Structure 1
Amino acid sequence: MKKVLNRHQLSALFGFCLVVTFLFSPSLYAQDDAASDQAAAAEATAAGEEGPCGPGDPDKGKQLFNQNCAACHALNRKMTGPALANVASRLIEEEGLDCEWIYAWIKNSSGMIASGDAYANRIYEEYNQAAMTAFPTLSDQDINDILAYTEATPPAPAAPAAAAAGAQTDAGASGGVSNELILGALAMVFALLVMMLILVNRTLRRIAEANGVVLEREKAEKGLPLWKAFAQNQFLVLVSVIFLMLGAAYFAYGWMMQVGVDQGYAPIQPIHYSHKIHAGDNKIDCNYCHSSARVSKHSGIPSLNVCMNCHKSIYEYKGNPEGPSAEDLAMGYTNEFYTNEIKKLYKAVGWDEENQQYTGETQPVEWVRIHNLPDFAYFNHAQHVTVGKIECQTCHGPVEEMEIMYQYSPLTMGWCINCHRETDVQMEGNDYYEKIHAELAKKYGVEKVTAAQMGGLECGKCHY
């Protein structure tokens, strides 16, 4: 005889489910704010305001440092110029100089070198005979503010992304139950509820059978099968065949029209380059890197020397003051990630960070081409960028918002033809088109002539 759970056993099982649900409820675990309060207190600790040359404001000094010094100097490493952490204390204690010498050097370094000052000339020779930029507009108090900032303890280097992620995981584990544990508990509770329902169903059936109650399911009346009824209706069969053939032709045409169209193509490059940071945040003009687009058929791949124009001095990415967004963190785009990509650039061009010079050991970067027209299609960047004055975003989309560059437009023949039909020729400063435009405008009876009216739809313009 099969064993049936009585009501006391069922009550105990139900109580066990409630206890499990209660124990693993995420609402019972609140984040412990003590650690975050301690971290905030540590960050809020301000450096002393008394500098080696007098009182100074480190916060104001940081702003002045970033505006005037950060292009060539860092606090704790050598760049174009020497590291400036505790620079005033070192010059006073180790070199026997005074604050007046520091003021004079910052305001007019070339004058100090020309005067024959021994230490000034030593620095001049050590750093490739490149005199420091003079800052005559900085007052003594401004310099004191900068020195107070350099005397503050340099910030610790950012932890690797993996360590940061591990710290976040540990923090989450210490502050509450992990999501995996909660989901596991909920799955166990759901399984127990299913088992309870099955047991209750079996128990009720046995009680009904013991009392002589017969449970029968109503049997559905048998009729003609649906497929047989459909097959016997010739009209429905004909209509269905026609719709299937039209649908198949429509999808086949759509699939064939996508052959060779790479819209949305976004390959992973050997060195991650963020157009969002360069063209968006830093407002770098597209033609600065792709300079050949103004005078050549091709826009060209920028030389790595163009990158080094800035990255000789920008050796790490510090990001926005408020830190990376949640979306960037989810994708792994941390300050450490971008800094590592700069290191890849240095390795490719053979740049020695410590000695600030090229080693001559270069490595080619195998960039992956994104926009690639067929060989039988002719396109001239200079004709569109310089003569036509077309913005880069017209074809390439909002590049200033793209973290990873991708093909924004389909670049199909129909897309180009529609652009020629809708785009008016820009006449301002285009003397080449002035006479042609006047004659065509008279011919078509319009004020503005489109590229199509100037022959932009002729086959030989793009296919040669």
Structure 2
Amino acid sequence: MKKVLYRSQISTLFSFLLVGSLLLTNNLFAQDQAAAEAVATEADASLGGDPVKGKQLFNQNCAACHALDRKMTGPALANVETRLAEEEGLDKEWLYSWIKNSAGMISSGDAYANKIYAEYNQAAMTAFPTLSNADIDNILAYTAAPPPAPVQAVATTAEVPGGAASSSGITNEVILGALVLVFGLLVMMLILVNTTLKRIAEANGVVVEKAKAEKRMPIWKAFAKNQFLVLCSVIFLLLASAYYAYGWMMQIGVDQGYQPIQPIHYSHKIHAGDNKIECKYCHSSARVSKHSGIPSLNVCMNCHKSIYEYKGNPEGPSAEDLANGYTNEFYTAEIKKLYKAVGWNEEEQRYTGESKPVEWVRIHNLPDLAYFNHSQHVSVAGIECQTCHGPVEEMEIMYQYAPLTMGWCINCHRETEVNLQDNEYYEKIHKALSEKYGVEKLTAAQLGGLECGKCHY
């Protein structure tokens, strides 16, 4: 029998082809990126300011009340400098004065300033005296900049500065076609190699015979003949069944991990995590009431009158979010559901009066026989929301983090140490317990936190 050594040759061939295709793809993408950057540089140079700096200033100072392409609390600002010059005959100096001191422009009797003041409910624009003329130029450059075009669209029409024709006219379709051609050639070559090796093997008398499978006794017969193994297996199955039956019965009424789908998708990860919104801003009744309460839609509208679309993180959506469908468009569609429920007209920036209730699905639900007071734990004990509700700032969809069983609550009362600082009442109790029983720390259990009547009434 002869051994035909051909695997190393195939691996070498495959490696060369794969490296070549990757180098080709990388070169094409690098040309596309260079052309896009060249076009962006030319566009920036044609404007009076820096659109990149202007975007940052716009988001910091203007985005709460203005958008580029739509009316919000204030008018749309796309091409505002050009529009004012053509329609009202106003120059950039007027914009400098208006942005830095709008109230002064109104009181001076300026016609267009008073027209804007009357049109937008007689609410004067916030003054920005700290913005320099250069800052305002950057903002105006951003409002005048054209919307960013896709890379492949820019690459088909752009030319590299200097007059030389750019090779970045290659689109993603061409790159994909090149990859398909490379891998097609690879498949053809592998087929040819396989055919050639078979012929060589036949010419050298190499015959591959299939090994005959030995007839063996079925496993179940071998198991049935071993009586000791059967006895041990029966005992193990009985004990395991009893264990899992007990565990299943103990889980009745325990909804840990319950994660229902809500009628309007609300991301705690974005609100409490990315934007650092305090839990008690929305669930304000947790400070003073037994229940934490579901925030009304008016609380949502405090922010979403101005935030009408989700633009995402600067880094872009993660791979996990994309896999789950959590794109910017998805979150924007959920904001539209909020508008429909509360009866908000985006275009006219007013309430229509045509609202409808949102049927939220309750997640945390204690039995009627148990008493729990949020204000006692949040305001008096100073317990953080995450203690019971888990890392809410990381949850895309809210779920029940803790089991909320009686044993879980009792264990918390046994371990939680009462804060004695600036509290003479608890200090007196702790002193008495220390002298009589040698208590080092005062817990909720030692203050009666294990008495049945505290939680059951």
Name the SS for the 2:448 alignment partner: helix
* Residue in structure 2 matched with residue 121 of structure 1 by the alignment: 114
Instruction: Quickly say closer, same or farther: Cα 1:309–1:219, change in 2 above 3 A.
Output: closer
Match for 1:251 among 244, 247, 250? 244
* Residue in structure 2 matched with residue 230 of structure 1 by the alignment: 226
* Residue in structure 2 matched with residue 107 of structure 1 by the alignment: 100
* Residue in structure 2 matched with residue 211 of structure 1 by the alignment: none
Once structures 1 and 2 are overlaid, which stretch shifts more, 357-366 or 241-250? 241-250
Deviation for aligned residue 1:118: 1.1
* Residue in structure 1 matched with residue 35 of structure 2 by the alignment: 41
* Residue in structure 2 matched with residue 382 of structure 1 by the alignment: 375
- Whether 2:127 is the aligned partner of 1:134: answer yes
Report if the CA contact (8 A) 1:348-1:363 is conserved. yes
Report if the CA contact (8 A) 1:440-1:454 is conserved. no
* Residue in structure 1 matched with residue 71 of structure 2 by the alignment: 78
* Residue in structure 2 matched with residue 394 of structure 1 by the alignment: 387
Report if the CA contact (8 A) 1:421-1:450 is conserved. yes
* Residue in structure 2 matched with residue 460 of structure 1 by the alignment: 453
Question: Matched residue pairs, number?
Answer: 413
* Residue in structure 1 matched with residue 85 of structure 2 by the alignment: 92
Deviations 1:168-206 (A, max 9, x none): 99799546459xx99xx9xxx9xx99xx9xxx9xx8789
Instruction: Quickly say closer, same or farther: Cα 1:461–1:156, change in 2 above 3 A.
Output: farther
Unpaired runs of at least 5, structure 1: 1-13, 158-167, 207-214
Deviation for aligned residue 1:301: 0.8
Instruction: Quickly say closer, same or farther: Cα 1:118–1:452, change in 2 above 3 A.
Output: same
Q: For the residues of structure 2 that align with 1:396 and 1:366, how far apart are their CA atoms?
A: 22
The amino acid of 1:120's aligned partner reads A
Unpaired runs of at least 5, structure 2: 1-5, 151-170
Instruction: Quickly say closer, same or farther: Cα 1:238–1:152, change in 2 above 3 A.
Output: closer
Q: How does 1:130-169 map to 2 (within 5 A)?
A: 130-155=123-148
Deviation for aligned residue 1:429: 5.3
Q: How does 1:341-420 map to 2 (within 5 A)?
A: 341-420=334-413
Q: For the residues of structure 2 that align with 1:344 and 1:398, how far apart are their CA atoms?
A: 26
Name the SS for the 1:333 alignment partner: coil
Deviations 1:314-335 (A, max 9, x none): 1111112221112211111111
The amino acid of 2:274's aligned partner reads D
- Whether 2:310 is the aligned partner of 1:317: answer yes
Deviations 1:42-84 (A, max 9, x none): 3551334565xxx422222221111111111111111110111
Name the SS for the 1:365 alignment partner: coil
The amino acid of 1:369's aligned partner reads R
Q: For the residues of structure 2 that align with 1:218 and 1:147, how far apart are their CA atoms?
A: 84
* Residue in structure 1 matched with residue 157 of structure 2 by the alignment: none
Q: For the residues of structure 1 that align with 2:72 and 2:239, how far apart are their CA atoms?
A: 68
* Residue in structure 1 matched with residue 279 of structure 2 by the alignment: 286
Report if the CA contact (8 A) 1:275-1:405 is conserved. yes
Q: For the residues of structure 2 that align with 1:216 and 1:103, how far apart are their CA atoms?
A: 92
* Residue in structure 2 matched with residue 425 of structure 1 by the alignment: 418
Deviations 1:3-33 (A, max 9, x none): xxxxxxxxxxx9xxx9xx98xx977754375
Report if the CA contact (8 A) 1:32-1:175 is conserved. no
The amino acid of 1:148's aligned partner reads A
Instruction: Quickly say closer, same or farther: Cα 1:58–1:240, change in 2 above 3 A.
Output: closer
Q: For the residues of structure 2 that align with 1:387 and 1:43, how far apart are their CA atoms?
A: 58
Q: For the residues of structure 2 that align with 1:387 and 1:406, how far apart are their CA atoms?
A: 26
- Whether 2:295 is the aligned partner of 1:302: answer yes
TM-score, normalising length from structure 1? 0.77
Instruction: Quickly say closer, same or farther: Cα 1:170–1:454, change in 2 above 3 A.
Output: farther
Q: For the residues of structure 1 that align with 2:363 and 2:88, how far apart are their CA atoms?
A: 56
Q: For the residues of structure 2 that align with 1:110 and 1:246, how far apart are their CA atoms?
A: 81
Name the SS for the 2:453 alignment partner: helix
Q: For the residues of structure 1 that align with 2:256 and 2:426, how far apart are their CA atoms?
A: 33
Match for 2:253 among 255, 260, 273? 260
Instruction: Quickly say closer, same or farther: Cα 1:172–1:261, change in 2 above 3 A.
Output: farther
Name the SS for the 2:65 alignment partner: coil
Name the SS for the 1:278 alignment partner: helix
Instruction: Quickly say closer, same or farther: Cα 1:149–1:395, change in 2 above 3 A.
Output: same
Report if the CA contact (8 A) 1:393-1:399 is conserved. yes
Q: For the residues of structure 1 that align with 2:408 and 2:315, how far apart are their CA atoms?
A: 41
The amino acid of 1:257's aligned partner reads M
Deviations 1:330-377 (A, max 9, x none): 111111111111111111111111111111111211111111111111
Q: For the residues of structure 1 that align with 2:99 and 2:260, how far apart are their CA atoms?
A: 47
TM-score, normalising length from structure 2? 0.79
The amino acid of 1:70's aligned partner reads A
* Residue in structure 2 matched with residue 450 of structure 1 by the alignment: 443
Q: For the residues of structure 2 that align with 1:169 and 1:261, how far apart are their CA atoms?
A: 52
The amino acid of 1:319's aligned partner reads G
Name the SS for the 1:456 alignment partner: coil
Report if the CA contact (8 A) 1:75-1:83 is conserved. yes
Q: How does 1:328-343 map to 2 (within 5 A)?
A: 328-343=321-336
Report if the CA contact (8 A) 2:28-2:175 is conserved. no
* Residue in structure 2 matched with residue 11 of structure 1 by the alignment: none
Report if the CA contact (8 A) 1:274-1:402 is conserved. yes
Q: For the residues of structure 1 that align with 2:283 and 2:305, how far apart are their CA atoms?
A: 20
Instruction: Quickly say closer, same or farther: Cα 1:175–1:424, change in 2 above 3 A.
Output: farther
Deviations 1:393-435 (A, max 9, x none): 1111111111111111111111111111111012345566454
Name the SS for the 1:83 alignment partner: coil
Q: For the residues of structure 1 that align with 2:370 and 2:437, how far apart are their CA atoms?
A: 28
Q: For the residues of structure 1 that align with 2:173 and 2:332, how far apart are their CA atoms?
A: 25
Q: For the residues of structure 2 that align with 1:296 and 1:171, how far apart are their CA atoms?
A: 64
Q: For the residues of structure 1 that align with 2:312 and 2:209, how far apart are their CA atoms?
A: 68
Report if the CA contact (8 A) 1:230-1:237 is conserved. yes
